[in-house]
Chain A
Amino acid sequence: MPELLQFAFSGLTVGAVYALVALGFTLIYNASDVVNFAQGEFVMLGGMITVFLHLAGLPIPVAAFAAILITVLVGLALYAFAIDLARGSGAVQIIIITIGASIFLRGVAQVIFDKRFHALPAWFGSEPIRLGGAAILPQSLVVLAGAALIVALIFLMIDRTILGRAILATATNRLAARLVGIPVRRIVALSFALSAAIGAVAGLLVTPITLTSYDVGTLMALKGFAAAMLGGMGSAPGAIVGGVLLGLAESFGAGLISSKYKDAIAFLIILFTLFVRPQGLFGKRSTERV
Chain B
Amino acid sequence: MERLLRNRWALVVALALILAALPLVFPSNYYFRVAALVNIFALAAIGLNLLMGYAGQVSLGHAGFMGIGAYAVAIGASRFGLNGAVAMLAGAAMAGLLAFLVGRPILRLKGHYLAVATLGLGLLISMVLTNEAGWTGGPDGMAVPRLELFGTRLRGPDTWYMITAGALVLGVILALNLIESPTGRAMRAIHDSEIAARVVGVDVAAYKLKIFVISAVYASIAGSLMAFLNGHITPDGTAGFLRSVELVTMVVLGGLGSVLGAIVGAAMLVILPQALTIFHEYEHLLLGLIIMASMILLPRGVIPSLLARLRGGGA
Of B121, B127, B284, B291, which contacts A99 at CB under 8 A? B291
How far apart sit A222 and B118, CA to CA, in the bound complex (Å)?
A: 12
B53-92 interface with A by 8 A CB criterion: 58, 60
Is B115 among interface residues, defined by CB-CB distance under 8 A?
yes
Find the A residue at minimum CB distance from B241: A218
- CB-CB < 8 A to A97: which residues of B? 291-292, 295-296
Contact stretch, chosen from A61-69, A133-141, A191-199, A256-264: A256-264
- CB-CB < 8 A to A111: which residues of B? 281-282, 285
Find the B residue at minimum CB distance from A289: B195
A145-195 interface with B by 8 A CB criterion: none
Is A80 among interface residues, defined by CB-CB distance under 8 A?
no
Of A101, A218, A229, A261, which contacts B292 at CB under 8 A? A101
The minimal Cβ–Cβ distance linking B226 to chain A, given in whole angstroms, is: 21
Is B307 among interface residues, defined by CB-CB distance under 8 A?
no
Contact stretch, chosen from A7-15, A47-55, A81-89, A239-247: A81-89
- CB-CB < 8 A to A91: which residues of B? 111-112
- CB-CB < 8 A to B109: which residues of A? 274, 278
Is B233 among interface residues, defined by CB-CB distance under 8 A?
no
- CB-CB < 8 A to B249: which residues of A? 96, 100
Is B289 among interface residues, defined by CB-CB distance under 8 A?
yes
Interface secondary structure of B, over-half rule: helix
Query: Given known contacts A95-B112, A229-B113, is B284 in contact with A110 (CB within 8 Å)?
Result: yes
Q: Is the CB of B131 within 8 A of A104?
A: no
The minimal Cβ–Cβ distance linking B288 to chain A, given in whole angstroms, is: 3
Is A144 among interface residues, defined by CB-CB distance under 8 A?
no
How far apart sit A105 and B285, CA to CA, in the bound complex (Å)?
A: 7
Of A106, A233, A267, A290, which contacts B120 at CB under 8 A? A267
How far apart sit A223 and B248, CA to CA, in the bound complex (Å)?
A: 21
The minimal Cβ–Cβ distance linking A108 to chain B, given in whole angstroms, is: 6
Query: Given known contacts A96-B245, A101-B288, is B131 in contact with A260 (CB within 8 Å)?
Result: yes
Q: Which of A95, A103, A275 has the most CB of B within 10 A?
A: A103
Number of interface residues of A (CB under 8 A): 43
Q: Is the CB of A107 within 8 A of B292?
A: no
How far apart sit A99 and B131, CA to CA, in the bound complex (Å)?
A: 25
Query: Given known contacts A92-B248, A103-B242, is B131 in contact with A270 (CB within 8 Å)?
Result: no
Q: Is the CB of A107 within 8 A of B252?
A: no
Query: Given known contacts A96-B252, A222-B119, A271-B120, is B195 in contact with A290 (CB within 8 Å)?
Result: yes
The minimal Cβ–Cβ distance linking B245 to chain A, given in whole angstroms, is: 5
How far apart sit A24 and B124, CA to CA, in the bound complex (Å)?
A: 25
Query: Given known contacts A86-B295, A95-B112, is B288 in contact with A102 (CB within 8 Å)?
Result: yes
Q: Is the CB of A107 within 8 A of B245?
A: no
Q: Is the CB of A106 within 8 A of B284?
A: yes
Q: Is the CB of B299 within 8 A of A263?
A: no
- A–B Cβ pairs within 8 angstroms, 7 of them: A86-B295, A100-B289, A106-B284, A111-B285, A226-B120, A271-B106, A278-B113
A residues with a Cβ closer than 8 A to B are 35, 82, 85-86, 89-93, 95-97, 99-108, 110-111, 218, 222, 225-226, 229, 233, 260-261, 263-264, 267-268, 270-271, 274-275, 278, 288, 290
Q: A97-B296, A218-B241 are in contact. List 6 more A-B contacts (CB 8 A).
A: A91-B111, A93-B299, A96-B245, A97-B292, A105-B288, A263-B127
